[in-house]
Structure 1
Amino acid sequence: MSPTIQPAKSGDGAVLSPIHTENVLKSEVEERRDYSGAREKTDPREIALVRKLDWWIMPILWLMYWLNYLDRNAIALAKLNTLEEDLNLTGSQYQTCVSILFVGYVIVGIPANMVVTRIRPSIWMASCMTVWAIISGLTAIARNYTGLLLTRFFLGITEAPYYPGALYILATFYTRKELATRISILYTGNILATAFAGLIALGIFEMHGMAGISGWQWLFIIQGAATLIVALAAFFILPDEPLSTKWLTPEERKLAHERTQEDTVANKGQTTTWSGILDAAKDPKVWLFVAMQHGHLGANGFKNFFPTAIRTLGFNQTITLVLTCPPYLIAGFISIAWSWSSGRYNERTWHITIGKAIAVFGPLHISS
């Protein structure tokens, strides 16, 4: 016998009609919302859809972010090879080449946020990645300080559109309750790129002198080629918006669109991009986050000098490259657990505050 659905009962035990039963079930679903209005998934179709989104969106975005940081941090590892000797760089010139990337990054940051909403995100992000792959590979042909400086500057310009584009895609397909964990998983691409960059460089530096090419040049060539392959794949895999996603069925497209529309915070009228920028500029909370991010990036600047700092402790090149891995590997696991907790309990303030408080001890300990 097939199972039957028992009709719902009211508080006094009276049997409700099918219509009333449906309303009761709907109200129960509506009640599964937190203080911000974000709701918990209960529909098996929605759970299956989110799982499918994870399998299609997260791997390609993660790979793109992983390569984003692998390419920009390659200069720190190239310094352990013969980069400075081959290009006759002084210490201050090397530091300028490291820093100039962020000049290009800042110039393009806000415009990139505006462009991604006007053209197809898949085309925009994959195109930018293709160009940064080529520039990364061309770093190998730099012959002096000027050549390295220019490639780093343009690398910053072409890498800048990636992160706002990735967040835009995630916000288009995921609800507020789902975003924290996904953003954290994405961010591990940054952390694990730094963790494994040394091990990758260790293998590539074994090619030093092959075909008359230095190890640091092979590093830029191989990583640039890998980035180009992923960029070409991104043209076909990255989605634009739920209703046009090719790898979703018509029913899944409709569900993906409806659930994000339902989760969207109500907007008080239509606003232009510029009015949105002005509103953000007048919000004190935005500037608080700017200050926090400024301190965060400043503290993370040591990434570009971390391998060199380890080498000054007396280790050879092989041990130095291996020792760059463990700190970031541990950080990757903690990052996922921390953001899962934030998403699970839909709490942000204390997760940010405690995390930043712990992070303060590192620089203080080093400076003491």
Structure 2
Amino acid sequence: MPLLQTSESSPSPFDSWPQARLSTFERTLVKQIDIRLMPLLCLFYILNYLDRKQYDTCVSILFVGYSTFAALTSRPLQCRPFSHLLPRILHLRLHGVWGFLSACTSITQNFTGLLLCRFLLGFAESAFFPGAMFYISSWYNKKELALRAAFLFSGSPIGSALGGPVAVGLLKLDGTCGMAGWRWLFLVEGLATIAIALLSIFILPDLPSSPHLLRDSHRRSTRDGSGNAKRINLLEAFWMVIVDEKTWMFGAILTCISVVQTLGYSRSITLLLTAPPYLLSCVVMMLNGFHSDKTQERFKHVSIPLVVLVLAHILALSTTAVVPRYLAMLALPSSYSSSIIVSLTWISETLNQPPEKRAAAIAFLNAVAHTANVWTPYLYTSPPRYLLAFSVNIAAALLAIISSAFTRQHLKILNDEEENEGRRGQYIL
């Protein structure tokens, strides 16, 4: 698939270019898109995870709101007339509300008010990640998407690593202007989110199909397909997602992987020891995404990290010695992050047309997967072995591997059917 699309009414100005010059131009264009999109999206995700580093009940209440509304808040943004304005609506209005609610947490006077703010905050945050995945999947093709998705998701471990130091620093403001330290924590994080949301107006472009964004000859020819795909409404997109058997296959993979997301170790070892596992996961995740893009293979890049995750859990269960347990803790976030991000990429490129279906699929599966965040924190009892939690994690990882293998085989059958009809198989395995 070419990286550039042109107006149907005129020939492409690039037709006469030699391949070497065209390849150079495409690489330059991708770099420009990277600079405009990825740093700010990653920063938003860091702020998202900084805000999540709260107490167990508040986190669970946040994810009740997140899971309940994730699908509802994301799908309308990908349907006309909103689709061309996705980034501005998503990052200005929703992130503005997200920052406002986070700041409002600082003025709550009782536990009920705190829980209400966190529930509404989950609603406001719910559109970000599925919207961001739809956004980058509209700008990048299959050979570029996994690495960019990994870059976006790197905001998760970075935010988790920074959560402790940021909280410690802000809590030292305790008593300043008559406010408790925890109130300063929520207030500063909320105001920072609002400021970045305002900045996004001037930096983030709209979707590549936006008529005012770029000249036709410079538009990316991605799976957005807005220029020639039949547009459908919200209910039609939702129905296409529900009746597609691939949705439920990917749902099984994503849900099982998400069960092991809450690893619990940040509460049982010191902050100094938790930072390296998070930062290592950024490196491993980027390498896994890069290699998955380069080889155009997804199954192994999902399942091999899950095998490592199972082995790391077994090691953590088998001993309470510091060194082997810490080695296991180094492997856990890296294996989880590497697997989940390639899974999300696999979903984006498989359930990809029409674009409204892709948006609905990402939102729906993201909402389903995040239900695990409501109950998994309460599995981490009976330290230091955490027998129940780690056993559930091992079982979930094994189910995710089985689901991935089943999904790969199903997609292979669909590719074989298309090839028997004289067409090229469209699904990456």
Same fold (TM over 0.5): yes
Aligned twin of 1:292: 253
Structure 1 residues 281-290 or 237-246, which shifts more? 237-246
Q: 1:161 to 1:210 in 2, by over 3 A?
A: same
- CA–CA distance in structure 2, aligned partners of residues 283 and 243 of structure 1: 26
Aligned twin of 2:382: none
Matches within 5 A, 1:63-212: 63-73=43-53, 75-76=54-55, 95-117=56-78, 118=80, 119=82, 120-125=85-90, 126-212=92-178
Does 1:260 pair with 2:222? Answer: yes
> 1:42-94 CA distances to partner (integer Å, 9 max, x unpaired)?
52221111110011111111111111111122x14xxxxxxxxxxxxxxxxxx
- CA–CA distance in structure 2, aligned partners of residues 24 and 236 of structure 1: 35
Aligned twin of 1:50: 30
- Aligned-residue Cα RMSD (Å) equals 3.0
Of 164, 174, 189, 1:223 maps to: 189
Does 1:337 pair with 2:337? Answer: no
Contact 1:41 1:47 in 2 (8 A): no
- CA–CA distance in structure 1, aligned partners of residues 94 and 164 of structure 2: 25
Contact 1:198 1:324 in 2 (8 A): no
Contact 2:94 2:124 in 1 (8 A): yes
Give the secondary structure class of the aligned counterpart of 1:325.
helix
Q: 1:267 to 1:151 in 2, by over 3 A?
A: same
Overall identity of the aligned pairs, in %: 33
CA shift, 1:254, in A, is: 2.9
> 1:307-356 CA distances to partner (integer Å, 9 max, x unpaired)?
4323xxxxxxxxx3333311111111110011100011111011111122
Aligned twin of 1:309: 268
Q: TM-score scaled to structure 2, two decimals?
A: 0.63
Of 269, 273, 276, 2:237 maps to: 276
Give the secondary structure class of the aligned counterpart of 2:261.
helix
Of 62, 68, 85, 2:42 maps to: 62
CA shift, 1:272, in A, is: 4.2
CA shift, 1:233, in A, is: 0.7
- Give 5+ residue unaligned stretches, structure 1: 1-21, 30-39, 77-94, 311-319
> 1:268-327 CA distances to partner (integer Å, 9 max, x unpaired)?
96654433322322333322221222222221224xx544323xxxxxxxxx33333111
- CA–CA distance in structure 1, aligned partners of residues 120 and 211 of structure 2: 32
Give the secondary structure class of the aligned counterpart of 1:177.
coil
Contact 1:128 1:158 in 2 (8 A): yes
CA shift, 1:266, in A, is: 12
Aligned twin of 1:351: 301
Contact 2:106 2:183 in 1 (8 A): yes
> 1:204-242 CA distances to partner (integer Å, 9 max, x unpaired)?
222223233222222111111111110111122222122
Amino acid at match of 2:31: R
Q: TM-score scaled to structure 1, two decimals?
A: 0.73
Contact 1:100 1:152 in 2 (8 A): yes
Amino acid at match of 1:260: T
CA shift, 1:23, in A, is: 9.7
- CA–CA distance in structure 1, aligned partners of residues 27 and 15 of structure 2: 22
Q: 1:174 to 1:138 in 2, by over 3 A?
A: same
Q: 1:352 to 1:224 in 2, by over 3 A?
A: same
Does 1:361 pair with 2:311? Answer: yes
Amino acid at match of 1:101: L
Amino acid at match of 2:218: L
- CA–CA distance in structure 2, aligned partners of residues 208 and 41 of structure 1: 59
